[in-house]
A and B are shown apart, each in its own frame.
Chain A
Amino acid sequence: GQQVMQIPQYQHVQEGEDFTTYCNSSTTLSNIQWYKQRPGGHPVFLIQLVKSGEVKKQKRLTFQFGEAKKNSSLHITATQTTDVGTYFCAGEGSGGSYIPTFGRGTSLIVHP
């Protein structure tokens, strides 16, 4: 079945440093979604990427979808303590199931 791998599992940064998490799928995806889960909270939808090579920005967050639609990344510039949480990617396969497979997530810890 479809597998979505996400690295790293944890990332410690000093406030102001950049952060990147990577997501890789074993199969071609129709789209990829990104979610953020604050400690003790629930996953919150951030964005969806659909097109090959697509790049989207939300303030300090930059999301990329690979040309082969099998990998994606989320980059945060100049992290802030409010960025703390676990970032998940979720890929929907191209077989039309419309059920996203979630990566294990990357937990971001920002030290002030």
Chain B
Amino acid sequence: DSGVTQTPKHLITATGQRVTLRCSPRSGDLSVYWYQQSLDQGLQFLIQYYNGEERAKGNILERFSAQQFPDLHSELNLSSLELGDSALYFCASTTGMNYGYTFGSGTRLTVV
């Protein structure tokens, strides 16, 4: 157990639907990072939140949105899902610059 909790572990949904992925960072970590991992694109940074505020945006589609709540858990919302959105979605947190990122076990999203 890395200390970063992600739910659900697996999600199967149809095209056009909307899903919410949830992440709780490691205790004491204020930042949450969302990454998408697919076979052809590798690990792609989506978005970062720090203490409730959006800090950085990467290759996140307009159909995707995220937020971080006062208790520091974060949710990634994916809407109007397409087959190409099928991927592993990881959440990560970090204590600071020199400590690396701790990843959760991921949510495997399959869009059918």
Interface residues of A (CB under 8 A from B): 31, 33, 35, 41-48, 50, 88, 90, 92, 97-105
Contacts and interface: CB of A to CB of B under 8 A. Distances in A.
Contact of A98 (B42, B44, B92, B97): B97
Classify the interface of chain B: helix, strand, loop or mixed.
Answer: strand
Most chain A CB within a 10 A radius of its CB, from B43, B45, B98: B43
Contact of B43 (A44, A88, A92, A98): A88
B100 A50 contact: no
A102 B58 contact: no
A42 B42 contact: no
Contacts of A99: 33, 45, 48, 56, 58
26 contacts: A31-B97, A35-B100, A35-B101, A42-B103, A42-B104, A42-B105, A42-B106, A43-B92, A44-B103, A45-B99, A47-B100, A48-B99, A48-B100, A88-B42, A88-B43, A90-B101, A92-B97, A98-B97, A99-B33, A99-B45, A99-B48, A100-B101, A101-B45, A102-B35, A102-B43, A102-B45
A102 B97 contact: no
Interface of B: 2, 33, 35, 42-45, 48, 56, 58, 90, 92, 97-106
Contacts of B45: 99-102
Nearest to B58: A99
Contacts of B56: 97-99
